Each structure stands twice: as structure tokens, then as C-alpha cells.
Amino acid sequence: MKKNGITSHIRMSLLRRIIYPLLFLVLVLVILLRQPMLEYFVIGDADTFAPLSGPAETLTYVRTNAKDLYYTGDDYYVNGSLTGHYYYQLSDGYCRIYILKPSAGRPAEPHIEAMSVSGKLVKNPEGRETLIKDLAEALDWTYEGLASVTDPYFVNQVVYFPLQEKILFGIVVVSLLLSLIGLFSTLIPLLFPHTSTSFRKLKEYGDADKLMKDAEEELRFDCILREGNIALTPKYLIEFNADRTAVIPLESVLWVYEYQRMKYDRKTRREKMYYTERIVTINGDAYSLEDRPRAVLDQINEVLTERYPNFFFGYSEEHERLVRYLLRERKNEKNASGKKGR
């Protein structure tokens, strides 16, 4: 990177910033891939009376049209809380067990003529043997006979995309979108610097490409001051920030005022006076040159005073009132010209 290159600095700043959304995106993708949430969207159809061992080879969740479901009399509990009801479907020597969600405040329906069920295939779940024994007794079957025709897979509707998984999925999707927005909002200016914030701000003062090229030329061949991340040329003040590089046309400066504070200096190991300069432009943009040496600000103010003397210097209520008035009038002029242009 060239020492004085504004565009190069913008690219390097964006390159450092892109690491964070990229790492966040990788983290979100890892969470998404390690959780079974994506499986909820891979759901296949299962025949009503065919064994579920076939779909279970490739699917975790299935959709099936259940017919003539009967309540077994047993309920499905999770952590002591009623979570579902066991239903069975028995026809032509084939029995299938379903775990269906309960209706709030209502007992289980004794018989359900037909319904579409989406659920997870659970092989030989805990309590299967007890359930079949109770059902065999109620149907006047032997346990061995009913167990031989009962599908080893239960269709559990309760665990298909439960509320906590929906909430987690929503959080992951929002995080994924935010990481993608952050990634592309950094990647696009990295590839095309003229779309960066620095260029967009310059558009308010004229042709951004020409202004940036002019500032680059002055910075390279006619730099008056280079102190830390500040550079001063005859027509521009440039601040090389990590988040946004500011290129301020000096002719656009409307108001400059300073304030000071004592700050501990590690080199001298004592309190030292530092100065902050606040710069407001004719478009209302405000910039702060924080904790600068007195000599640096004096040189900036000297160039401003010699080359562009028509600005307010120093803080006062009168200056603030006048600046607010001028900015308001300029805004009204822009709005009026914009309406005429339409």
C-alpha cells in the first residue's frame, strides 16, 4: 500500500473489517449445519399402510395420510408434562403407532377418521413394549401377535419442528441475514471503492471521483502536514480512520471550534493537555479531530484562515445559532431545487 494512498487505505480498512462478518457467517453456518433444523425441510411422503422402514433409510421426517386412528388410552409425557396422545392404525394385518399433539384444554378424540400427519420417524421408542402390551390387552390380542404386525417406527408429530426449534431457527436465519448483509456491505466497497462511505460523502461536494483523484494528487505531491492519521493539503483535510476515511474539502468548512482536556501521556508518564477540533461543513457533516497536539491544530487553522477565511472560528452561542440557520437554509434550497428538477 502506498503511504499516502487514500483509496489504498480505504481498501485495507475494509479488508480488516471484512474478517468479522466472515467469522460470524462461518459460526452461523456451523450452528445451522450441526443442528437438525435443516432436516425439518427435508420431508418425504410415506404410504398409509406400507412399512416405514423404507422411507426411514433416507428420511428423518415424513408426511403421511393417516386413516381410522384410534386412541390407545395412553399419553405421551415429557418431563412430567402431557405432550401428546398415542393413536394406532390397524388394517389388513399392519399396525402403525402415531404420537399426536394434544388439543389445548380438550381430551383426546377417541377416533379420528382421517388426517395428514407430519412427524419424525422414531424407531423402537422407550415404552413401546408396554404400550403394545396394553393395546393388545384392550384389543384382545396376544402381545406377540400384535408386536409382530406393529411397525417398529412410530410417527411422532410432537417433535416435528417444536417451538424451541422454531425460535432457534428464526434466530439463526436472522443472524445469517445480518452476517450476509455485513459481508456484502463490506465486500462491495472493497471491490469497488467508489461505493464506499468516503466516496459517497464526497458526492455531496461535487464529482466524487474527481475530488478523490485531486486529493490523491495533492497528498502525493503537495502534502503540507502528515501527523499520525491526519494529512493536510492545500485543498483537503484527510483523516485516515479504521472505520471511515474522511476527505474534507477545505472550501466546504463552515465552522471550526476547539475544546481541551487533560490526558495521561504514557511516554512522559504525566498528565498532558490535548486538544480536539470540531469541524462542521456546509452540508452539515461534522468531524472530530480528537486529542491532537496544539501544533497540529494550529497548522490546520492557519491553512484554513489563509486560504478559506470565510468560516466561523471558535464556539459561541451566536456561532451555533448562525450555523444552524445557514444549514437549515441550505437544506431548504436543496429541497426546493430537487422539487423543480422533478
Supply the pLDDT for residue 194.
84
Is 163 within a domain?
no
Looking at the fold, whether 176 and 235 belong to one and the same domain comes out as no
Is 56 within a domain?
yes
Residue 80: pLDDT over 90: no
Looking at the fold, whether 101 and 187 belong to one and the same domain comes out as no
Quick one: how far is CA 77 from the chain centroid? 37
Q: Which helix (H) or strand (E) holds 254?
A: strand 253-265
How many helical (H) and strand (E) elements, i.e. helices and strands, does the chain have? 10, 14
Is 229 within a domain?
yes
Is 40 within a domain?
no
Looking at the fold, whether 186 and 200 belong to one and the same domain comes out as no
Looking at the fold, whether 124 and 217 belong to one and the same domain comes out as no
Q: Distance between CA 175 and CA 31 in Å, rounded?
A: 11
**Under 8 Å CB-to-CB from 69, ≥6 apart: which residues?**
87, 88, 89, 98, 100, 111, 112, 115
- Model confidence at 1, pLDDT cuts 50, 70, 90, reads very low
For 206-252, the pLDDT digits (tens) are: 999 999 999 999 999 999 999 888 999 999 999 998 778 899 999 99
DSSP labels, 21-50: HHHHHHHHHHHHHHSGGGGGG-EEEE-SSS
Looking at the fold, whether 114 and 217 belong to one and the same domain comes out as no
HSE toward the beta carbon, residue 29, CA cutoff 13 A: 8
Residue type, 6: I
Looking at the fold, whether 256 and 316 belong to one and the same domain comes out as yes
Residue 68: pLDDT over 90: yes
Looking at the fold, whether 183 and 233 belong to one and the same domain comes out as no
Lowest pLDDT segment from 234-243, 260-269, 296-305? 260-269
Segments forming the whole domain that contains residue 77: 45-157
Supply the pLDDT for residue 335.
77
Is 262 within a domain?
yes
Looking at the fold, whether 200 and 334 belong to one and the same domain comes out as yes
Looking at the fold, whether 12 and 53 belong to one and the same domain comes out as no
State which of 133, 157, 181 marks the end of a domain: 157
All three cell numbers of 57, joined, read 433409510
- Model confidence at 16, pLDDT cuts 50, 70, 90, reads confident
Residue 57: pLDDT over 70: yes
Lowest pLDDT segment from 159-163, 250-254, 260-264, 269-273? 159-163
Is 20 within a domain?
yes
Is 39 within a domain?
no
Residue with cell 499520525: 228
The stretches of the chain forming alpha helices (DSSP H) are 6-17, 19-34, 53-56, 128-139, 143-149, 163-191, 197-202, 208-221, 294-307, 317-341
- Exposure string of 14-33, with b = 16+ CB inside 10 Å and e = fewer, is beebbeebeebbeebeeebe
Looking at the fold, whether 205 and 334 belong to one and the same domain comes out as yes
Is 91 within a domain?
yes
CATH of the domain at 310: 2.30.29.30
- Model confidence at 282, pLDDT cuts 50, 70, 90, reads very high
How many CB atoms lie under 10 A from the CB of residue 301? Answer: 15
Looking at the fold, whether 217 and 83 belong to one and the same domain comes out as no
Q: How would you classify the pairing of strands 253-265 and 230-232? A: unpaired
Supply the pLDDT for residue 262.
83
- Burial class (CB within 10 angstroms; exposed 0-12, middle 13-18, buried 19+) of 300: buried
Q: Distance between CA 202 and CA 219 in Å, rounded?
A: 16
Looking at the fold, whether 278 and 311 belong to one and the same domain comes out as yes
Residue 44: pLDDT over 50: yes
The percent of residues in the chain predicted with pLDDT above 90, rounded, is 57
- Model confidence at 130, pLDDT cuts 50, 70, 90, reads very high
Give the total number of structural domains in the chain. Answer: 3
